[in-house]
Amino acid sequence: MSKFSQPNSSSSPELDPGFQAQVQRLHELIVWCRWLVVGGLWLSIGLLSLWELRAEIALLQAGFTWAAVRYGLYDNPLPALGLSLCVGMTTAVLVWQSRNILQGRSPHYQRQLERSVCRIRQQGSTHPLWKWICNS
């Protein structure tokens, strides 16, 4: 069978409820991994950036102005870049997960998940994700 031909519906794994459960587990694992990356960023780069900005934060507590925020970040480019990375990744994961919840997974992403599960099943227990996806 060529890689472009469609399998017949009787042998299609997409109809198997176990297969769909594995696709769902893979999606949940991806969601968890994305949030772990975001949490790791905040615990490492985010905290270091906030620590570097501690003097500016103390000034902001005394009298908050947007100009003080702007110049505090402008005068400290590396902490500003670190905070921007953390906020950007958090926003990206929130938007991605919200879109998946509200609109459902896109067909392209669903096919990608299904192909990944097929590769995991094909490789078997030697695949690193086998025990989380298929072995339940």
Instruction: Determine the Cα–Cα distance for residues 94 and 66; give it in Å rounded to an integer.
Output: 25
pLDDT interval class at 14 (50, 70, 90): low
Nearest CA among 118, 114, 107, 93 for reference residue 24: 114
pLDDT interval class at 17 (50, 70, 90): confident
Task: Return the ∠ at Cα 44 (arms to 39 and 50), rounded to 5°.
Answer: 105
How confident is the model over 97-112, as a mean pLDDT? 95
pLDDT digits (tens, 9 = 90+) for 19-67: 999 999 999 999 999 999 999 999 999 999 999 999 999 999 999 999 9
- pLDDT at site 31: 97
Other Cβ atoms within 10 Å of 82 Cβ, number? 21
